[in-house]
């Protein structure tokens, strides 16, 4: 592996909220931010994160951090009680909150004081006894839009003035009812009241504010919500050397705002490299890198590439990975797009935290099909050992829990060794992911990949003694060829070479 994709390490909301399947849902995934300015202690301290990044860099491995600039996390009872925002309408909320069983959590009627259920202990709207003052001490009306008291169009005092969360797919929507940052706002804002309270409790309010003031002054930027978020997110690049971002919910933020984030992150990365020349991960000195999640984005080039993104996550490949006999059209298409347009790339996967664990996990052919794919490839943790789904009782609707079982280290060392051989070959040859693709034979399926002087031939679904013509990559009689899968070598006779194949041949010129 040459990069590790980690969850956003900034501090998350605390405690749980119920999901629609009747299960406690917590912010372990990194998408429910509370405070971007510090790390979440469930992950570790800032020193711990620095140590991890440095250790990866020492091995030539880059760190890609998941980030979200579209929304904050839900309000939770522990945060509301500790930082004094919102309105908890029952004094015995903690008796309910800390006694309910893990798989018996539910929303309830949502009417304050009307029996058990998460929503029955919080006053969200005027008809439940909430008012603007209760919720203004959260993120504040200039920072977010939300369908709760006070967060209405034009700062209106009641629901009749119109909700600020519009639709489900646009810039002004609240994805899954999460509070939506007003990243499009050009208005200067103050630090949210709950965060001022939090920073004061932690003894760092003046320091954090001074850093923000200096950041905005140096860039001549207005202190908008977007610019605050850019400062906090790029600090992980500037301070720790994060090498790239995987951007979440990209379609819910204006393209120009993503360009501003990427520009600042790129500048921060160069600043970090200048300050840490011995820690820059090799073998090449590469620029800051970005990819993004736009739901159901395929292998096409969209406008996101014109606003700073290096690649987009490809939702269209999953499910094709194990069909080795049917991959030619996909391989040729992806390689053709990449080689026709050097500004285009894609990031494909077989499993993900959003779209599920592939039914082909544990299948060697699936590993082969993915790892020989043109463009970038992502391995979701556990694919390489056949990780099983998590059994979550009463959770048929909220399947995301099923995807996130613990990593079963050592579950299948044979499968792991297969992934490792493919990964080392791919990592050693830029032609695999970025080269021109040419089919050489149908049976067995054989193709070449060529990028400059880097030339390889790959053969699928072969076993036993197999003879392959290697003239397509410029090899001739007397040259020594290595099969990177078995580790064996052979000499070219005429234009062909013969190996005792072990399922797949990964042919390269022996050095």
Give me the long-range contacts of 260-265 (CB less than 8 A, separation at least 24). Answer: 260/226, 260/227, 260/230, 261/69, 261/229, 261/230, 261/233, 261/234, 261/308, 262/288, 262/290, 262/307, 262/308, 262/309, 263/308, 264/230, 264/231, 264/234, 265/233, 265/234, 265/237, 265/290
CA nearest to 428, candidates 507, 502, 503, 353: 507
DSSP 455: E
Q: CA–CA separation, 87 vs 392, rounded Å?
A: 32
Which residue intervals of 241-386 are DSSP H helices? 255-275, 328-340, 364-371
CA dihedral 183→186→188→194, nearest 10 degrees, is -20
Place of tokens 């980030």: 67
From 243, 248, 264, 384, active-site residue: 248
Residues 6+ apart with CB under 8 A from 154: 161, 162
Q: Which residues contact 292 (CB under 8 A, 6 or more apart)?
A: 246, 247, 250, 258, 304, 309, 311, 312, 313
Q: How far apart are CA 42 and CA 181, in angstroms?
A: 24
- Peptide linkage before 283 cis (omega within 30 of 0): yes
Residue from 474, 476, 499, 404 nearest 28 by CA: 404
Quick check: is 159 catalytic?
no
DSSP, collapsed to helix, strand or coil, labels residue 220 as: coil
HEC assignment per residue over 94-109: HHHHCCCCHHHCCCCC
Residue 225 near residue 143, CB atoms below 8 Å: yes
Residue 296 has phi, psi (to 5 degrees) of 70, 20
Residue 421, H or E segment: helix 413-428
Angle (CA) 379-460-472 rounded to 5° is 110
248 is a catalytic site residue: yes
Annotated catalytic residue within 293, 310, 321, 508: 293
The residues assigned a catalytic role are: 248, 293
């Amino acid at each position: 592996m040459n990069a590790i994709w980690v969850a956003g390490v900034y501090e998350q909301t605390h405690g749980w909220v119920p999901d629609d399947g009747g299960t406690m849902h917590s912010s372990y995934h990194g998408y429910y931010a509370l405070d971007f300015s510090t790390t979440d202690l469930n992950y570790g301290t800032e020193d711990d994160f620095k140590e991890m990044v440095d250790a990866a860099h020492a091995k030539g491995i880059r760190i890609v951090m998941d980030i979200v600039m579209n929304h904050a996390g839900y309000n939770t009872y522990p945060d509301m009680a500790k930082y004094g925002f919102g309105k908890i309408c029952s004094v015995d909320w903690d008796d309910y909150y800390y006694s309910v069983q893990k798989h018996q959590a539910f929303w309830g009627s949502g009417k304050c004081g009307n029996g058990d259920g998460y929503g029955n202990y919080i006053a969200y709207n005027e008809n439940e006894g909430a008012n603007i003052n209760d919720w203004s001490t959260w993120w504040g009306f200039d920072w977010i839009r939300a369908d709760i008291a006070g967060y209405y169009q034009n700062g209106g005092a009641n629901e009749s003035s119109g909700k600020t969360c519009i639709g489900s797919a646009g810039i002004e929507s609240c994805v899954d009812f999460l509070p939506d940052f007003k990243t499009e706002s050009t208005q200067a804002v103050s630090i949210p009241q709950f965060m001022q309270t939090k920073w004061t409790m932690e003894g760092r309010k003046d320091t954090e504010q001074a850093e923000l003031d200096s950041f905005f002054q140096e860039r001549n930027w207005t202190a908008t919500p977007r610019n605050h978020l850019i400062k906090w997110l790029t600090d992980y690049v500037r301070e720790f050397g994060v090498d790239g971002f995987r951007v979440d919910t990209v379609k819910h933020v204006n393209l120009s705002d993503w360009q501003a984030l990427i520009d600042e992150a790129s500048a921060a990365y160069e600043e970090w490299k200048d300050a840490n020349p011995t820690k820059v991960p090799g073998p090449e000195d590469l620029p800051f890198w970005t990819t993004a999640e736009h739901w159901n984005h395929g292998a096409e080039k969209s406008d996101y590439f014109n606003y700073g993104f290096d690649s987009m996550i490809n939702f269209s490949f999953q499910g094709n990975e194990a069909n080795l006999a049917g991959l030619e059209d996909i391989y040729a298409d992806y390689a053709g797009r990449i080689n026709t347009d050097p500004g285009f790339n894609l990031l494909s996967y077989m499993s993900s935290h959003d779209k599920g664990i592939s039914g082909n996990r544990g299948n060697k052919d699936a590993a082969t099909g993915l790892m020989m794919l043109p463009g970038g490839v992502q391995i979701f943790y556990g694919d390489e050992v056949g990780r099983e789904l998590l059994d979550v009782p009463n959770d048929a609707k909220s399947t995301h829990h099923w995807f996130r079982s613990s990593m079963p280290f050592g579950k299948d060392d044979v499968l792991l060794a297969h992934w490792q051989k493919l990964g080392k070959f791919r990592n050693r040859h830029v032609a695999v992911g970025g080269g021109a693709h040419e089919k050489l034979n149908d049976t067995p399926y054989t193709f070449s990949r060529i990028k400059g002087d880097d030339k390889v031939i790959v053969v699928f679904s072969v076993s036993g003694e197999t003879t392959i013509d290697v003239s397509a990559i410029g090899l001739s009689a007397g040259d020594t060829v290595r099969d990177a899968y078995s580790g064996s070598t052979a000499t070219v006779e005429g234009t062909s070479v013969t190996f005792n194949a072990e399922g797949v041949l990964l042919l390269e010129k022996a050095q």
